[in-house]
Amino acid sequence: MARGALVTAILLAGCQAGAPSPVARGALAVSPSDSLFYEVYGHGPDTAVVLHGGPGLDHRYLVPPLAGLLPGRTLIYYDQRGRGRSTAVDTLAISPDSDVADLDAIRRRFGLARLTLVGHHWGAAVAALYAVRYPDHVARMLLVSPFVVHPSFAYEFALLGPRGTDRVSAAAAYRAIAAPSDAEAFCRRFAWWYFLPTPADSPAVAPRIRDEVCAVPDDGLRRGEAVKRALLRSLGSWSWRTALNGVRTPTLVIDGQGPPVVEAAARRWAEHLPNARLLLLSGPSPYPWADDPRPLVRAADDFLRGRWPAGSVEPPPFMATAQASPR
């Protein structure tokens, strides 16, 4: 069997095998009172750090869809501060800066001179902001359905209307949460809520991902919601274009199907990063693996091996105009 066919067969087998088991787990103290819970999967020589989204979820929903990347690799997952099984005394003090600092603590903990980063949604933003602050510590970045790069896109997502996501009912149900079991029931009904302010999916997609997304232990969903609100407030009216223009790290932006604003928002990331390409998959945004993880795994594997995957395109740099607000 040719080497390329063998690699593909191994990847497909990994995708079909379900969630793997961690080979190690632990907690990393990042302050006298705060710690990061982490899990390590695989034994391969190539190492990548995986950053979850939300920004109030934990890492476990990304373990099954990325299992196909494990042959030949080690994947390090962790729950960001105050989320999942990580701790934080003051969740209101969590900010993009603290998330970036925590990622550097993970780098030091595992003795990694340069990071290969795989970020989903909010985790993609953390990866990019880390590359802004520590360009010499990042080898390459895979950004999957990234959080919006400018607040105007959040406004455009809001203008989409319900699209089947009943925000009025969801807000009422959220206010009625009184216990961890209520929070999990809410999540299973309104899984898209945890990707606000930019949910692009319809409820038809949620049943395919809600078991993983909602499996946050103890009272993690409610704590994560508090973190999400604090982070969104801390962003203010953010604009990362100028900072991202200076990041030369090879970057692949991947997103799935959705309304036109989905492609526009993903493309803007690739336009702002000078050494980036964009790949649009047929799966639904913001979880393009929901229908079938294999296209995502194949593209990710190519990129992590140093190749641009088939179908990826390099958009021209973003050019602000007098008629358009800078992003």
Task: Decide if 312 is inside a domain.
Answer: no
Contacts of 262 (CB under 8 A, 6+ apart): 200, 255, 256, 285
Question: pLDDT of 99-148, one tens digit each?
Answer: 999 999 999 999 999 999 999 999 999 999 999 999 999 999 999 999 99
pLDDT of 256 above 90 = yes
CA–chain centroid gap for 53, Å, is 4
pLDDT band at 219 (very low <50, low <70, confident <90, very high): confident
Write down the mean pLDDT value for the chain.
88
Residues in contact with 84: Cβ distance below 8 Å, sequence separation at least 6, in sequence order: 37, 57, 58, 59, 60, 216, 217, 220, 224
If one compares 171 and 305, the residue with the highest pLDDT of the two is: 305
Task: Establish if 310 belongs to a structural domain.
Answer: no
Radius of gyration of the chain (CA): 19
Residue 76 maps to a domain: yes
Longest CA–CA separation in the chain, Å:
58
Residue 203: pLDDT over 80: no
pLDDT tens for each residue of 230-243: 999 999 889 899 99
**3-class DSSP state for residue 108?**
helix
- Identify the CATH number of the domain in which residue 52 sits: 3.40.50.1820
Domain assignment present for residue 317? The answer is no
pLDDT recorded at residue 323: 43
Q: How far apart are CA 165 and CA 41, in angstroms?
A: 35
Residues facing 49 on adjacent strands: 76, 117
What CA–CA distance (Å, rounded) separates 141 from 123? Answer: 11
Residues above pLDDT 90, as percent of the chain: 62
Does residue 205 carry a pLDDT above 80?
no
Which of 219, 158, 166, 172 lies closest to 191 in space, CA to CA? 166
Residue 242 falls inside a structural domain:
yes
Q: Is the pLDDT of residue 40 over 90?
A: yes
What's the confidence (pLDDT) of residue 121? 95
Helix H or strand E encompassing 102: helix 96-109
Contact predicate 104/130, CB 8 Å: yes
Q: How many domains does the chain have?
A: 1
Q: Which of 9-13, 89-93, 147-151 is the least confident region?
A: 9-13
Q: Does residue 323 belong to any structural domain of this protein?
A: no
- Per-residue pLDDT at 37 exceeds 70: yes
pTM: 0.90
Strand partners, 142: 118, 252
How confident is residue 14, by pLDDT bands cut at 50, 70 and 90? very low
Domain with 45 in it: 3-304
Q: Would you say residue 268 lies in a domain?
A: yes
Q: Would residue 71 count as lying in a domain?
A: yes
Q: Over 80: is that where the pLDDT of 15 sits?
A: no
Give the model confidence (pLDDT) of 150-195 as tens digits: 999 988 887 776 555 677 888 899 889 988 888 888 888 888 788 8
